[in-house]
Structure 1
Amino acid sequence: MRKIPWVVAVVALAVTVMSGWAGTVTAAKSDIELYGYIKLDAVYDTQRNVAGDITLWTHPESIDGKDNEFNMTAKQSRFGLKITAPEMEGGPKITGKLEGGFYGVASASSSLASPHKNSLRIRLAYVDLAYDEWSIRAGQDWDTIIAIIPNAVNFTYFGDQGSPGYRRAQFRITKKTTMGATKLTTAVAAARTIGDLDVDRNGQDDGVDSGLPSVQAIATLETPWYTEKNLKLSVSGLYGQEMLDVMSTNNTVVKVDEHDYDSWMGMVSVYLPLASKLAAQGAVWKGQNLTAYEAGINQGINATLRTEVRAEGGWVQLVFDPAKKWNFNVGAGMDDPNDADLNAGGRARNQYLMASVWYKMNDQVHWAFEYSNLETSFKGLPAGAGKDEGVNDRFHGAVFYYF
């Protein structure tokens, strides 16, 4: 029988501490603020890619030929509620967020899956209990390891192309320390372990089968710089496990928990102001078995070789804000799985170049255009004349209406 995970004890301790801090609730209802946006995306791709409305990697010419696409969708539109609870005398500030969108599984997995009948999904759903220096967040939020996200019209923020991270259920404790004008923020979280698409085909998520949560942690130093904006430097990492069973040819379990596969990542992120209106930002990372974190080009476990897929990569971006209504970005990124961990035909490298411009007509209506060049290389495909890779030029226009 497995031992009770340590996270249960942590949660129990937090509940005990919070109950000791509880104060008197002022008789009032929670304040609820509606927010969100409506968005239309129109995209032309010079080469077929996965998966149409969004882009993760490009199909190789040697298999699919040269095949362009045009996609148009409004399913990145989203809505949410910001909730503020009544004040507590001597207690924490309690807030919550509930946010949804329309990139559910049925509508995101294929451009053929009812592109005008989109599936609702939860993006964010958490409660936050904040004191002066400590806070607890419980629910679904962005991965704790994420410090900086690239400016992108691309819905996936260049996931599986060098920019890792996603959202998942977690229990996070954060500590803020102020040292003059410098601020240090540290956080640790126990998060749901999401597996690599049920590799053993036993009908059970391989991450859930491990019986343990994953652990994520981050430390972020924010300090004054020679410009009016602060320098931000973050170091983060994660560790988790997936478990695979041995299955028979008729798909019955022969041996339970036969092999465990580790997931880990280390990442360094930086936001570096260069001038009052110019900044550089980016991240570098390394790890293994990172399918659930939008890294490794959706390759985490190689069941044939019985090994984790190692990968490394990163992204960099220059951000220029010449005026209140304008924003310009240029950048590049790479996701590079280790070829030794891949079978023939495996996705060996993703690398992109991008440039985008944003125009804020007013507080509600924003326009954006992004060009990106994505090159996906494959292991062992016939070389020559670009046939062993997929190259896509993507022209992406969007309009937002914020409310």
Structure 2
Amino acid sequence: MMTTRMKALLLAASALSVTGTLAYAQDAQTQAELDALRARVEALESADSSPAEGDFRIGNTTLDVYGYVKADFFYDFDFDQGDTAFVNVIGEPSAATDGTFGATVRQSRIGLRTTTPSGIGDIGGQLELDLFGSGGTAELRIRHANITIGDQFLIGQYWTNFQPLDTYPTSVEFNGPVGIAFARVPQLRYTGQLGGNAQFAVSLEENVSGSNSDDPVLTASAEYNDGTYIARGAVLYGKANSGSVEVDQTGFTASASVRPWQGGLFQVNYVTGEALGPYLIGLGDAIVGGQANDVDGYTVEFRQDLSPKWNVGIAYGRENYDLPTSTGTLSFTELETIHVNAFYKATDNLTLSAEYIYGERNDAPTGRTFDGSRVQLAAQLNF
């Protein structure tokens, strides 16, 4: 694992490199600022004591570099679902296979968090990237990029406030079960306390890709979380467009989680709405034939710690749409998934995992049902 000092030197060296390139076009004042930055780097190099584990400082700003390297190996038995176990392709003739092996490191990610004290509270920053760029290649992609002011304000890209983040099912593969909201969007969010272990949040967000709307989305949520019990509800309102047709986009989620005994976890998520498909794992069409496409979905998960190093789980997900979404030669109104997995914590930083994934979808016009299975193994090193 990279040491704190090494992280500091690498980031500082990058800053010096960029600044040095620009320095040719700068005046004497800028050169003085460059010298001051070099002095800071030298101070970091010669410091007798190191900052807290995982952190280092530049001025009064604390920085933390985090992320993980993850290698995934998978085998599709019936239909080639790609790097992300995309259940929508099950049944498509172009994806049919007698067995396909694949491997990817694209889920690996790196992030930087900063914290700077100020008169209006701590100012935080987050920039997180992974390798799930377009075209199936390992290209950098922004996951999160935001600014926080105290515990109240978030400005920038983060998980949508509509998503039940604290009760999201655990999986080895990237997506997880269908039947749950999943989106990262630019937003302006305010979070307030309701007393005790409860809080609320309201946000103004950009609509997700697939809704094709230039109008903002409004969300509100309330959550109780005491570490043993979680209860959450959220609502969403926006617009969706298809050609000249515009419809209301509405959504509601309800989530609950309980730890019934030592090491046990049981949680459920329910979502319903109109024109809401682009927010869900299944990515159903928001509008079909000029009408809003209503959808209901849910997930159920049970997990159990077997020891300090082992935990296992099973999660079921389902989505039901009123109107069919075309996927090429076929279309669907129903999707189902089952994830059965096990995680082994080899060290504090290294986790090994295995998962069996079963997916099922229908072909709406004919009523036929198609299914596909996958086995996936992974190794993940956190830093």
Match of 2:251 in 1: 265
Q: Is contact 1:175-1:186 (8 Å) kept?
A: yes
The letter for the 1-side match of 2:300 is: V
Secondary structure at the counterpart of residue 278 of structure 2: helix
Counterpart of 2:118, as a letter, is M
* Corresponding position of 1:99: 128
Does the alignment pair 1:400 with 2:380? yes
SS of residue in 2 equivalent to 1:57: helix
Q: 2:331 aligns with which of 331, 341, 346?
A: 346
Larger deviation, residues 280-289 vs 46-55: 46-55
2:45 corresponds to = none
Q: 1:53, CA displacement in angstroms?
A: 4.2
Q: 1:283 aligns with which of 269, 272, 295?
A: 269
Report how far residue 51 of structure 1 moved. Answer: 3.5
1:175 is matched with 192
Provide the rounded CA distance (Å) in 2 between the counterparts of 1:152 and 1:300.
Answer: 26
Aligned partners of 1:47 and 1:390 also within 8 Å = no
The equivalent of 2:13 in structure 1 is none
Matching residue within 150, 162, 183 for 1:130 = 150
**1:334 offset after TM fit, Å?**
0.4
What is the CA distance between 1:394 and its match in structure 2?
1.1
Instruction: Provide the TM-score with structure 2 as the length reference.
Output: 0.79
Maintained 8 Å contact 1:220/1:232: yes
What amino acid sits opposite 1:234 in the alignment?
Answer: R
In the TM superposition, residue 299 of structure 1 has moved relative to its aligned partner by 1.9
Question: What's the CA shift for 1:75?
Answer: 0.7
Letter in 2 for 1:188: V
Q: Is the 8 A contact 1:52 1:69 kept in 2?
A: no
Q: Identify the residue that residue 168 of structure 2 maps to in structure 1.
A: 149
* Alpha-carbon distance, 1:39 to partner: 0.6
**Which amino acid letter does the alignment assign opposite residue 72 of structure 2?**
D
Cα offset, 1:307, TM superposition: 0.9
Task: Give the C-alpha shift of residue 371 in structure 1.
Answer: 0.7
Equivalent positions of 1:6-17 (< 5 A) are none
- Partners of 1:243 and 1:260 within 8 A in 2: yes
Q: Which one of 110, 118, 143 corresponds to residue 88 of structure 1?
A: 118
Per the alignment, residue 371 of structure 2 pairs with: 391
Match of 1:231 in 2: 229
Report the secondary structure of 1:292's partner residue. Answer: helix
**Structure 1 residues 342 and 369 mapped into 2: Cα distance closer, same or farther (>3 Å)?**
closer
**SS of residue matched to 1:275:** coil
Measured after TM superposition, the shift of residue 52 of structure 1 is: 4.3
Contact 1:59 / 1:389 at 8 angstroms: preserved in 2?
no
Q: Take 1:125 and 1:315, find their aligned partners in 2: how far apart are those partners?
A: 28
Instruction: Report how many aligned residue pairs link the two structures.
Output: 322
Distance in 2, Cα, partners of 1:168 & 1:292: 12
> For the Cα contact (< 8 Å) 2:71–2:103, is it kept in 1?
yes
Give deviations 1:269-290, integer Å, cap 9, x for gaps: 0111111211101201111222
Change beyond 3 A, Cα 1:29–1:63: closer
CA-based RMSD: 2.2
Alpha-carbon distance in structure 1 between the residues aligned to 2:102 and 2:333: 26
Is residue 296–residue 336 contact of structure 1 (8 Å, CA) maintained in 2? no
Return the offset for 1:326: 1.4
Q: Which has the higher helix share?
A: 2
User: Deviation string for 1:200-251 (max 9, x for gaps)?
Assistant: xxxxxx212xxx210111100224xxxxx42110011211112344xxxxxx
What are the superposed Cα offsets for residues 58-88 of structure 1, whole Å, 9 maximum, x if unpaired?
A: 4327776554322101111100001111x22
Q: Aligned partners of 2:111, 2:194: CA distance in 1, in Å?
A: 30
**Secondary structure, in 3 states, of the residue corresponding to 1:358?**
strand
Match of 1:306 in 2: 290
Identify the residue that residue 22 of structure 1 maps to in structure 2.
Answer: none
1:33 aligns with 2:50: no
Corresponding residue for residue 17 of structure 1: none
Q: Which residue of 2 aligns with 1:207?
A: 213
For 1:60 and 1:69, locate their aligned partners in 2 and report how far apart those are by CA, in whole Å: 15
- The 5-angstrom pairing of residues 108-119 of structure 1 reads 117-119=137-139
**Partners in 1 of 2:71 and 2:282 — Cα distance?**
29
Match of 1:162 in 2: 179
How high is the TM-score relative to the length of structure 1? Answer: 0.75
Q: Which residue of 2 aligns with 1:44?
A: 75
CA distance, structure 2, for counterparts of residue 64 and residue 173 of structure 1? 44
- Aligned residue among 297, 313, 316 for 1:332: 316
Unaligned 5+ runs, structure 1? 1-26, 108-116, 198-205, 224-228, 246-257
1:53–1:73 CA contact under 8 A, matched in 2: no
Does residue 191 of the first structure (1) align with residue 193 of the second (2)? Answer: no
Regions of 4+ moved over 4 Å: 61-66, 341-344
SS in 2 for 1:106: helix
> What are the equivalent positions in structure 2 for 1:62-81 lying under 5 Å apart?
67-81=98-112
**Offset at residue 162 of structure 1 (A):** 1.2
State the shift of 1:363 in Å. 1.6
Q: Given the superposition, is the C-alpha separation of residues 61 and 94 from structure 1 closer, same or farther in structure 2, using an over 3 Å criterion?
A: closer
